[in-house]
Structure 1
Amino acid sequence: MLRIGLFLLTNIAVLIVASITLNLLGVGRFVEANGLNLGNLLAFCAVFGFVGAFVSLFLSKTMAKMGTRTQIIEQPRNADEQWLMQTVAELAEKAGIGMPQVGIFPSQEANAFATGWNRNDALVAVSLGLLQRFSRDEVKAVMAHEIGHVANGDMVTLSLIQGVVNTFVMFFARIAGYAVDSFLRRGEGEGVGIGFYIATFVFEIIFGIAASIVVAWFSRMREYRADAAGASLASKESMISALQRLKLDHEAQLQTQMPDSIYAFGINGGFKQHLTSLMASHPPLDDRIRALQNS
């Protein structure tokens, strides 16, 4: 129920912000008597495409904390939390970013994630299972990987890419939908019929799948960069060892407990590694290990 509530609140926020933005820009109807107004259509799609991506980005810390039940370490309660805070502070200073919030989420799956719209006000969190089972050198490498995501501005970059992709999926789906509807309604007057909405919906699915391949490719390239950052901030040996431990956990098929929306920002791609390589948000762990070994 919590995830459904967060999804609905996010979409309501998108609709409100997008509607206000369209009014401020004076964007009118994109379906006119003589056809599509492509300028208005592109503006409409861009507003909804980018607003959706950036509303999700600005709410990412809140959604991640609620979705994973992450407990932020305000005051360390034990030696492990004290060490984790000190380690993240050291890595953040070395990477040249502000000290992020540090949290632990109650999952036995070995994973960690970073999120937040501002590299100087981010959140990094690690699962309880990873903290308990991995060596301290391996945990440090994992946190260095996540700090690498923050330092590289990956969350903002991926949101920009998602905004561009959303815009063109909506834009071309509506052009294709209008073409199909015009063919079906030859000589039936102005406006659009139900065929426009059905065809647009179908084309959004088709174009959306193609767009997901583009976004997934950028996400995989980003993981290699974060691995390299982890090796630089911690050590190559520790980063390789951490990835090898992740591989062992993955092969043990521990139950995944992190929301899908957070997996793209985690060190472990979870079940997504079972999907085709074109749609995976993370490269195979063997490829990541090999890339570090050859660097």
Structure 2
Amino acid sequence: MKRIGLFLLTNIAVIAIASIVLSLLGVGSTLQANGVDLALGNLLIFAAVFGFAGSFVSLALSKFMAKKMTGAQVIENPRNADEQWLVDTVRRQAEKAGIGMPEVAIYNAPDPNAFATGMSKNKALVAVSTGLLRNMTRNEVEAVLGHEVAHIANGDMITMALVQGVVNTFVIFFARIAGHFVDRVILKNESGHGIGYFVASFIFEIIFGILASIITMWFSRRREFHADNGGAYLAGKENMIAALRRLQMMQPGELPDQMAAFGISNRPSKLGALFMSHPPLEDRIAALEATLQEELKIA
């Protein structure tokens, strides 16, 4: 029920913000065309407003949503040596990466995982599961923290929000063009938009959305390699490789969709490799080992 409530809250916020922006821009008749032609300029503005509103409202609410969905508890006053070590490690890495100190949190989950989220580099959140803390050495946990801090330092949250906004825009835009075609050309409706337009637009939005997710997942996988390199820089390449090897031996925990792209690892997609947010762990390890070998040759 909590996830359903948060989902509805996010969508209400998206619709409210998009409606206000569209009113300010004077774009209210995009879908009210009485003629055969679509107002493509207005339609593109409509699609962009809703596409980017959804992406950036989700980003703006990401820390709040992450805490609510995972039950993550922010460490405000460390209660023991382990919590103090976590805070000190993230602070040291944040300083080295040149970003503001993120909030540090722990969430209760038996499976090993961690994630980073937040709207800006200086107001982010890094959270780790209790399962990760129990099953990894401190050097390995430090590497995982470095990976998440690297996501923040690289601006991956903003980058993925922009990518998702562009993708959303074109999904909405082309789905409505396809719906218009079905309504006017196939169903021969000549007055306004009939039910065929709305049904076809909905179906095409699903189809185009699935295809578009291939693009966003490709970007997500590329960002993981960069975050691994960042983790290697912040915590040591050997530690980063050791952490990934440890994850190979364990089943990574599931994260809500909003945070999955910024976790340390994720389960394989049921739809295949093109829909995976993370590259296979063996590929990530091989990439780090290749750079390590190059460094040894140079040395």
TM-score > 0.5, shorter chain as reference: yes
Q: CA RMSD in A?
A: 1.1
Kindly provide the CA deviation profile for residues 31-82 of structure 1, in whole angstroms up to 9, marking residues without a partner as x. Answer: 4222210011000000000000000000000000110000100000001001
Partner of 1:237: 238
Q: Residue 94 of structure 2 corresponds to which residue in structure 1?
A: 92
Q: Shift in Å at residue 191 of structure 1? A: 0.7
Q: Can you list the C-alpha shifts for 1:241-281, whole angstroms capped at 9, x where unaligned?
A: 0000111012xxx7x45323221110011x23554110000
Deviation at 1:14, TM superposition (A): 0.5
Preserved contact between residue 255 and residue 263 of structure 2 (Cα < 8 Å): no
1:218 has 2:219 as partner: yes
Letter of the 1:258 counterpart: L
1:249 aligns with 2:247: no
How far apart are residue 183 of structure 1 and its match? Answer: 1.7
What TM-score, normalized by structure 2, do the two folds share?
0.94
Of the three residues 113, 116, 124, the one matched with 1:114 is 116
The equivalent position to 1:160 in structure 2, one of 159, 162, 167, is: 162
For residues 14 and 138 of structure 2, the distance between their equivalents in structure 1, rounded to whole angstroms, comes to 41
Overall identity of the aligned pairs, in %: 60
Structure 2: 5+ residue runs without aligned partners?
A: 292-299
Gaps in structure 1 of 5+ consecutive residues: none
2:40 corresponds, among 38, 41, 45, to 38
CA distance in 2, matches of 1:90, 1:192: 59
Match of 1:5? 5
1:285 and 2:261 matched: no
Q: Please state how far the C-alpha of 1:132 moved relative to its aligned partner.
A: 1.6
Q: Which residue of 1 aligns with 2:29?
A: 29
Say if 2:268 is the partner of 1:272: yes
Residues 113 and 267 of structure 1 are in contact (CA less than 8 Å); yes or no, is this contact kept in structure 2? Answer: yes
How many pairs align? Answer: 289
Task: Give distance in 2, aligned partners of 1:20 and 1:14.
Answer: 10
Q: Structure 1 residues 246, 44: closer, same or farther in 2, change over 3 A?
A: same
Distance 1:30 1:18 in 2: 14
C-alpha offsets along residues 162-212 of structure 1, whole Å, 9 cap, x if unaligned? 0000000000000011001102342x5321111111111111111111100
Q: Which runs of 4+ in 1 moved over 4 A?
A: none
Counterpart residue number, 1:260: 257
Counterpart amino acid of residue 285 in structure 1: L
* 3-state SS of paired residue (1:249): coil
The CA distance in 2 between the partners of 1:22 and 1:120, in whole Å, is 31
TM-score normalised by length of structure 1:
0.96
Contact 2:221/2:276 (CA < 8 Å) preserved in 1? yes
